[in-house]
Amino acid sequence: MLRRNLLRLFTLMFAGALFAAPANAVVEIDINKGNVEPLPIAVTDFLQGELAQKISDVVAADLKRSGLFAPVDKGAFIEKIANPDAAPRFEDWKVINAQALVIGRVTQEGDGRLKAEFRLWDTFAGQQMLGQQFYTQPENWRRVAHIIADAIYERITGEKGYFDTRIVYVAESGPKNARKRQLAIMDQDGFNARALTNSNDIVLTPRFSPNRQEITYMSFENQQPRVYLLQLETGQREVVGNFPGMTFAPRFSPDGQRVIMSLQQEGNANIYTMDLRSRTTTRLTNTAAIDTSPSYSPDGARVVFESDRGGKQQLYVMGADGSGQTRISFGDGSYSTPVWSPRGDLIAFTKQSGGKFSIGVMKPDGSGERILTTGFHNEGPTWAPNGRVLMFFRQNAGAGGPQLYSIDLTGYNEQQIQTQGFASDPAWSPLME
Amino acid sequence: MSRIDTPAASRMQTIARNPVMLALVMTLAVAGCASKKNLPNDAAGLGLGAGAATPGSQQDFTVNVGDRIFFDTDSSSIRADAQATLARQAQWLAKYPNYAITIEGHADERGTREYNLALGARRAAATREYLAGQGVPANRMRTISYGKEKPVAVCDDISCWSQNRRAVTVLGGAGS
C-alpha cells in the first residue's frame, strides 16, 4: 500500500531558469547559530477551497514547529492573493515584515488526482526562490503539505527538511501495573496514527529500516522475548535469527542488510549481528557485562554501544567487526542508549546523574558533551533524518506514563508530540529519496 | 495516579486494589521475622488464616514460602533476606517435585529500557543459580526478564522502586 502510494506521488519541477536560486537572496537561516530568531514568513491560504487551505495550514504548522520560522498572523495580510501565477505586491508583504511569502493553488485533475502548486517568494529581494508542483491522490494531502514544507525549509536553511517523515513508537495504555503496549506509526507531526500490532504481547524498541519498509523491534510473543522483523506493507512478521536466549535492542545497519542487537546469556548481554540474506550471525563483543543499545555510524564502519564492563553504563565505540572497543564517555553518572547522528558528527544519549535523566549529545570521540534537557525521566533519543532535531520520551513524576517530545540540537524549541495515550520509544524514519 | 508518600500507605492501597500484592506484603513480613513460627500469625493478622493455604498449593508457596526476592539498586546480588526466602523455596520445591518454575527478573523504572531488560535477566539468572546451589534441578527452572515493563508498585518514589526490583518464582506445571 505504502509503495503504491509512493509511486502515485511524484514531483515535477518547473523549468530551471525561472527558479534558479537568486545570488542576492537575503532570506536565509543559519541553522548552526542556535536559538536563531525565527524567520517571519507569510503562508497564504492556498487557492481554492477547503482542502487547499488545509494543505497550507499544515505547511505553516510544520514550519512553525521547527522553531526556525514564525508564520505571520493572517489577519495582518494586506494583499489578498487572487492569481498565484502573478508576482505578489512585495511592498504589501514587506510592510508587515513577512520576509518570505508562500502562495499556492490546489486543483483536481480530470482523473481525480490533486495538483498542488506553490511558490516561495523573497519579498525584500522581490524574487521567487522556489516554485514546484506535485500530483497525488487526494488522501495524500498531508504528505503533499509536508513535502512542500520540506522544500521551503531546505531552500531557506540550506539543510534537508524532515517533515515528510514518520515516527514508529510504542503506544501505551492502561494503568502502570497492567500496561498494554502496541507498536504504532504516525506522521512526524502526530497525525495519521495507526497501530501495527495488537496489545496482547509486550512490544518494545521499534526501529525503521533505511528504506522505511520494515521495522525491527522486540516482542514477548509466546513468552519468548525476541527480536522481530515486520514488513510494513504486508504486516508479515518473523523472528530475527535463532538465538538460544533473549534478543533485544535491535537496529538496522545503514545498508539495511544486517540487524545488530544484544543476546542475553545468563547474566551477560553481548552484541551480535545477523545478515538478513545469508542468515549468518556474528558475535561482536565478548564480555562478562551488559553490552547493549548498539547504533551504527552512518557509513556503517563503526558502532557505538553501552556497556557496564567498567562498573556502570558507559558509551563505547568499536569497529563494525567488533575491533578496537574504546570507551568515550567519562562524565559524572551513567550513559546509555547512544544513537549516532545521520550526519555522523554527533552521538545522542540518555544520561543518569544525581537522580535525574537527561538527553545529551557528544562527538564520536567523546568530546564536546552537551546536555539538551534534564528532568525526572527523559530517555531514548532518536534523530530526525537531517540530524538537527531529536525526539525522545519523557515521564514526569506522578504523570502515570510517558509522552513524546522533540527538541532542537541547540537545546531550544522543545515540543510535545500529541499522541492519543502514553507513548515511548520513538524512532524517526529516514527521508524518502 | 496520585503520588503516595508513605510506604505504609502505598502498601495498604495496593492491597486493596490488587490481591496479588497480598503475597508481596507477606514476603516483606517474612523478611522481617526472625522465626518461621510467626508466619501464621502474620497471615492471620491480614485476615488470611494460614489454614486457607492447602499444603503444596500455589497459595501455600506464595503465602507461606514467599514467591519473590528483592534487590538493591542496579544490583543482582542475592541479599541475606533473599537467601532465606530462596532456601525456603528450594525446600518447598524438593517437597513438591511436580512443579517446574519460571523465574521472572524485574527492574525498577529508574533505568533505561534496554539495560533494564538485561538487568532483569541478570537478576533472574542469579536467582536460578542460587536455587540450583540449594539443590533445585536445572531442568525444572527457566528464566525470563521483563525489565522495567511490569512494575507491581506504581508510585514514583523509592518505596515503590524497591518493591519493583525483584525476582518472582512462578510455579508452572510438570517439569520441562
pLDDT > 90: percent of chain A:
88
Question: Is the pLDDT reported for residue A143 higher than 70?
Answer: yes
Test the B interface: residue of A217, A218, A246 with most B CBs within 10 Å: A246
The mean pLDDT of A393-403, rounded to a whole number, is: 94
Using CB atoms within 10 Å of the CB of residue A230, give its burial: 0 to 12 exposed, 13 to 18 middle, 19+ buried.
buried
Q: Do A397 and B3 touch (CB under 8 A)?
A: yes
Question: Is the pLDDT reported for residue A21 higher than 70?
Answer: no
Least confident of A130-134, A138-142, B35-39, B171-175: B35-39
The most distant pair of C-alpha atoms in chain A lies apart, rounded to whole Å, by: 72
Compute and round to an integer the Cα radius of gyration of chain A.
Answer: 23
User: Does A380 contact B at CB distance below 8 Å?
Assistant: yes
- Quote the crossing angle between the two packed helices B20-31 and B7-17, to the nearest 10°: 140
Using CB atoms within 10 Å of the CB of residue A263, give its burial: 0 to 12 exposed, 13 to 18 middle, 19+ buried.
buried
The mean pLDDT of B126-154, rounded to a whole number, is: 97
What is the structure's pLDDT at B39? 38
Could you tell me the end-to-end alpha-carbon distance of chain B, in angstroms, rounded to an integer? 40
The mean pLDDT of B105-109, rounded to a whole number, is: 97
Alpha helices in A302-359 (DSSP H): none
What residues of B are in contact with residue A377 (Cβ under 8 Å)? 109-110
Q: How far is A324 from chain B (nearest CA, A)?
A: 22
- Dist CA B19 CA B17 (whole Å): 7
Question: Is the pLDDT reported for residue A199 higher than 90?
Answer: no
The mean pLDDT of A308-327, rounded to a whole number, is: 97
- Dist CA B16 CA B173 (whole Å): 29
Q: Give the tens place of pLDDT for each residue, A248-277.
A: 999 999 999 999 999 999 999 999 999 999
pLDDT interval class at B93 (50, 70, 90): very high
- Dist CA A9 CA A433 (whole Å): 12
Q: Do B2 and A398 touch (CB under 8 A)?
A: yes
The mean pLDDT of A273-291, rounded to a whole number, is: 97
The mean pLDDT of B141-166, rounded to a whole number, is: 94
Q: How far is A177 from chain B (nearest CA, A)?
A: 5
Q: Do B145 and A246 touch (CB under 8 A)?
A: yes
Hey, where are the domains in chain B?
7-171
The secondary element (H helix, E strand) that includes residue A282 is: strand A281-283
Mean pLDDT of chain B: 78
Is A407 within 8 Å of A390 (Cβ atoms)? yes
Q: Do B152 and A202 touch (CB under 8 A)?
A: no
What is the structure's pLDDT at A351? 98
CA-nearest residue to B18 within chain A is A177
Question: Is the pLDDT reported for residue A94 higher than 50?
Answer: yes
Q: Give the tens place of pLDDT for each residue, A47-85.
A: 989 999 999 999 999 999 999 999 999 999 999 999 999
What residues of B are in contact with residue A245 (Cβ under 8 Å)? 121
What residues of B are in contact with residue A270 (Cβ under 8 Å)? none
Surface of A (279-298) touching B: CB under 8 A: 290, 292-293
Question: Is the pLDDT reported for residue B119 higher than 50?
Answer: yes
User: Does B136 contact A at CB distance below 8 Å?
Assistant: no
Task: Give A246's contacts (C-beta < 8 A, 6+ positions apart).
Answer: A225, A226, A263, A264, B117, B121, B144, B145
Using CB atoms within 10 Å of the CB of residue B3, give its burial: 0 to 12 exposed, 13 to 18 middle, 19+ buried.
exposed
Q: How far is B128 from chain A (nearest CA, A)?
A: 10
Question: Which value does ipTM take for this structure?
Answer: 0.91
Of A398, A365, A388, the C-alpha closest to A159 is A388
What residues of B are in contact with residue A269 (Cβ under 8 Å)? 118, 121
Domains of chain A listed by start with CATH number: 2-157 (3.40.50.10070), 166-428 (2.120.10.30)
What residues of A are in contact with residue B141 (Cβ under 8 Å)? none
Mean pLDDT of chain A: 92
pLDDT interval class at A35 (50, 70, 90): low
DSSP B47: T
Q: Per CATH, is B7-171 categorized as 1.10.10.10?
A: no
What is the structure's pLDDT at A337? 98
The mean pLDDT of A334-353, rounded to a whole number, is: 98
User: Does B145 contact A at CB distance below 8 Å?
Assistant: yes
